[in-house]
Amino acid sequence: MLGVLHRSHVRIADVEVSGMRLTSDTLAQVTVRIAWYKPAEEELRVTSIRQKWENVKDGGWMLTGEERIDGDLGLLGEPMAPEPPPGPPHAPHESAHFPTIRIGERPEPRPEDSQPAQEPPSAGP
Q: Does domain 2-71 have CATH number 3.10.450.50?
A: yes
The residue ranges of every structural domain in the chain are: 2-71
CA dihedral 22, 11, 74, 5 (to 10 degrees): -70
pTM over 0.85: no
Residues 7-28: pLDDT tens digits?
A: 557 889 999 999 999 999 899 9
The pLDDT score that the predictor gives to residue 59 is 74
Nearest to 65 by CA among 16, 35, 32: 32
Backbone angles phi, psi at 101, to 5 degrees: -125, 125
**Residue 7 carries which DSSP code?**
H
Residues 90-104: pLDDT tens digits?
A: 666 666 677 777 787
